[in-house]
């Protein structure tokens, strides 16, 4: 028991000794730093040492503006004069005068009385008139119901410049009758291929049928039909010369049935053509 107490007392004494050594070292380091670096003391200057400059209004004396000018107001001998006059502090920051004629309305506006004008038409009517007069109507994916007749939605449109054609028209060539109206409609459909058609719709064409000039990719539809013999131009139309050329070439209605292949000579492919089988073969 006594030995245990001695051990405990020795441990406490060792801890106390170690703590004292730490405090002594810290105090020595603090004294060394304070001796090496003296305390910096900020001094506040005494404002009574500076004399306040007398005000010009209080003293009544003129303060020279030019450093080369003496207290009497006359320039010193040899001093150069700049010719600048001292500015008045009261008017130094004042704005410049504005000329009314530069910023106001002209006399022609203010002197004449206002005039009442007629109100303009509603924007919707103006837009319709401008669109019908300047911009063409685009018909997307029209369907050809006959050669020269297309249908878009509920509108049936006859191509202008040509006579209307019927799909049930029949033609007779060489003693044979063939449905030229259906063939013409099929050729017209193949040309359209469900593409967009640009038409110059006449004013007031709000019904279910109308007649207008149309084009597809810059190609006039009436001219294409006449050139291929699938339409008859109106009397006096400039397309009559094209119809004569199609008649001489026996195209469309003026020719034979394009479905009949009996009048078309058939050429059989020669399997030996281009193979060089008739040429002498070199000996291997």
Three-state SS at 211 = strand
CATH code of the domain occupying 135-254: 2.40.50.90
Q: Give, in degrees to the nearest 5, the angle at Cα 172 between 169 and 178.
A: 60
Among candidate residues 195, 210, 124, the one with its CA nearest the CA of residue 159: 210
How far from the centroid of its chain's Cα atoms is residue 108's Cα? 41
Tokens of 80: 């150069």
pLDDT of residue 95: 57
pLDDT, averaged in runs of 10, over the chain (284 residues): 82 89 86 66 61 51 50 49 50 56 60 78 64 75 93 91 91 89 94 91 77 92 95 92 94 88 52 49 48
Q: What is the pTM of this model?
A: 0.47
Each domain of the chain, given as residue ranges in start order, spans 135-254
Pinpoint the alpha helices (H) of the chain.
2-36, 56-59, 89-92, 100-103, 107-111, 123-134, 180-192, 221-227, 240-248
Among candidate residues 256, 261, 193, 184, the one with its CA nearest the CA of residue 227: 184
Interacting residues of 161 by C-beta distance below 8 A, sequence separation 6+: 213, 222, 233, 234, 237, 239
Rg for the chain, CA atoms, rounded: 56
Rounded-to-5 percentages of helix, strand, coil across the chain? 35, 15, 50
pLDDT of residue 266: 46
């Amino acid at each position: 028991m006594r030995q245990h107490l001695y051990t405990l007392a020795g441990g406490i004494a060792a801890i106390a000794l170690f703590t004292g050594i730490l405090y002594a070292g810290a105090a020595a380091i603090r004294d060394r730093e304070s001796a090496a670096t003296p305390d910096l003391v900020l001094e506040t200057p005494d404002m009574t040492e500076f004399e306040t400059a007398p005000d010009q209004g209080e003293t009544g004396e003129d303060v020279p503006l030019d450093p080369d000018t003496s207290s009497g107001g006359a320039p010193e001998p040899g001093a150069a004069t700049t010719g600048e006059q001292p500015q008045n502090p009261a008017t130094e920051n004042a704005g410049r005068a504005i000329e009314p004629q530069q910023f106001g309305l002209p006399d022609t506006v203010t002197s004449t009385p206002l005039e009442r004008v007629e109100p303009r038409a509603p924007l919707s009517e103006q837009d319709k008139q401008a669109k019908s007069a300047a911009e063409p109507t685009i018909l997307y994916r029209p369907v050809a119901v006959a050669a020269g007749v297309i249908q878009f939605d509920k509108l049936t449109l006859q191509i202008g410049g040509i006579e209307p054609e019927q799909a049930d028209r029949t033609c007779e060539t060489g003693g044979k009758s063939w449905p030229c109206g259906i063939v013409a409609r099929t050729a017209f459909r193949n040309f359209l291929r469900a593409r967009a058609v640009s038409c110059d719709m006449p004013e007031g064409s709000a019904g279910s049928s109308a007649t207008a000039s149309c084009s597809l990719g810059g190609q006039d539809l009436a001219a294409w039909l006449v050139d291929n013999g699938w339409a008859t131009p109106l009397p006096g139309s400039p397309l009559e010369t094209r119809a004569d050329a199609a008649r001489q070439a026996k195209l469309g209605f003026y020719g034979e049935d394009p479905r009949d292949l009996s009048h078309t000579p058939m050429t059989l492919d020669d399997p030996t053509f281009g193979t060089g089988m008739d040429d002498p073969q070199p000996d291997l």
